[in-house]
A = this chain, B = another copy of it.
């Protein structure tokens, strides 16, 4: 059974001191219901993707379901670090294919900015193995700095090439009203920004944000009944890799990303060259370059060519992160997967306004959890 997205909603990403986590979730949920022309009673279950430890409120799916007025229908939370709401979407597709529920709301939601940056870094570090790695002080920027160093060593990648990713994604972010940073930056500014974990600088890093996004999904016949423009999930890949860097064979690629991409392309029956555009997991600029290669948009070691040649700009051959990516849009970890999916649907519907990719027909989303211990890749088409 084909499964389609029939409703989308996306809140403003950024520092959202104006809302509780329930209120944050409500915004895109309401928008998605209105978009689909549905009421709450039409939704059979909700799946919440989030990384729980950032919130003072525990077990958020319960309080969110209550706030959304979704009792007594099933809800629960999925967690796969930064890929938590991609896991939620993957679950929802399974429930629909299984015939257990007909229409499901998938919500990615995260409030991060109640904590200070050092607190966030400490929390993120504990995603690493607390017995063997994070105890030595590993942080997320530190892990990705290792990837960057290795890519530089193996393929001659430069800090300037990484900075160009930031410049592109900020350029795209200007056209996204929901982005945390709607502001262009210059290559010089990016290169002169303060080091975070050398060679990564402030502008190589995405922003910690609050945010939420929602998808309403349904099986083929129901989706056609609800929507004139359903967007179909043509291929879905889900894979994992070791968390421990010491168990990785190489540091210039994320094996979960390679594996999940393969699965998704195979299921969808398309190849990288068939994509109209991609939303990839640019938590750091080096991560976008790794994604080009792991997905197969570029050969290994040649990801930097795409950015040097400007091919991944909106008007290039293979636009990437046309909504600003994690870099400019902000990265509310649990909401990011759902946010990517919303952008894919919006573009494939031709509803992306100023940032519309001309003639978009096939989209790919690539959502990495942690430093690559999880990866979900989805391929969508009209």
In the complex the two chains form, is B57's CB within 8 Å of A130's CB? yes
Q: Is the CB of B242 within 8 A of A127?
A: no
Contact with B along A61-73 (1 / 0, CB 8 A): 1110110001111
Contact assessment for A131 and B20 in the assembled complex, using a CB-CB cutoff below 8 Å = yes
A56 at interface (Cβ–Cβ under 8 A)?
Answer: yes
For window 234-274 of A, CB contacts with B under 8 Å fall at 238-244, 247, 255-256, 259
Instruction: List residues of A (56-114) whose CB comes within 8 Å of B's CBs.
Output: 56-59, 61-63, 65-66, 70-81, 83-84, 87, 90-91, 93-100
Partner of A59, one of B51, B72, B77: B51
Is A52 in contact with chain B by the CB < 8 A criterion? yes
The verdict on A358 contacting chain B, using a C-beta distance below 8 Å, is no
Complex-state Cα separation, A162 to B129, whole angstroms = 43
CA A66 – CA B87 in complex, angstroms?
A: 18
Query: Are the CB atoms of B66 and A243 closer together than 8 Å?
Result: yes
Query: How many chain-A residues does the 8 Å CB contact rule pick out?
Result: 60
A53 CB within 8 Å of chain B: yes
Name the distance in Å between A337's Cβ and chain B's nearest Cβ: 11
Segment with Cβ contacts to B, from A34-42, A165-173, A220-228, A367-375? A367-375
Chain B residues with CB below 8 A from A61, complex form: 79-80
Minimal Cβ-Cβ distance residue in B for A83: B76
Interchain CB contact under 8 A, A79 and B66: no
Select which of B45, B126, B242 is within 8 A of A71 by beta carbon: B242
Evaluate contact between A76 and B79: CB separation under 8 angstroms.
yes
A356 to chain B, nearest CB (A): 33
Contact of A75 among B58, B71, B130, B240 (CB under 8 A): B240
Known: A62-B127, A62-B369, A63-B129. A240 touches B56 (CB 8 A): no
What is the chain B residue whose CB lies nearest that of A49?
B76
Closest residue of chain B to A123 (Cβ to Cβ) is: B58
CA distance A98 to B123 in the complex (A): 35
A179 to B52, CA, bound (A): 29
Residue from B75, B95, B243 in contact with A62 in the complex, judged by beta carbons closer than 8 Å = B243
* Chain B residue nearest to A101 in the complex (CB): B94
Alpha-carbon separation in the docked complex, A81 to B95 (Å): 21
The complex places the Cα of A259 from the Cα of B126 at a distance, in Å, of 38
Query: How far in angstroms is the closest Cβ of chain B from A290?
Result: 16
Q: Which 7 A-B pairs have the closest CB atoms?
A: A97-B98, A62-B373, A74-B238, A76-B80, A76-B87, A77-B79, A58-B126
Where the two chains meet, the residues of A that have a C-beta atom closer than 8 Å to any C-beta of B are 20, 45, 51-53, 56-59, 61-63, 65-66, 70-81, 83-84, 87, 90-91, 93-100, 123, 126-127, 129-131, 238-244, 247, 255-256, 259, 369-370, 373-374
Q: Can you offer 10 A-B residue contacts whose CB atoms are under 8 A?
A: A56-B126, A56-B130, A57-B126, A65-B240, A74-B240, A76-B84, A76-B90, A77-B79, A78-B79, A98-B98
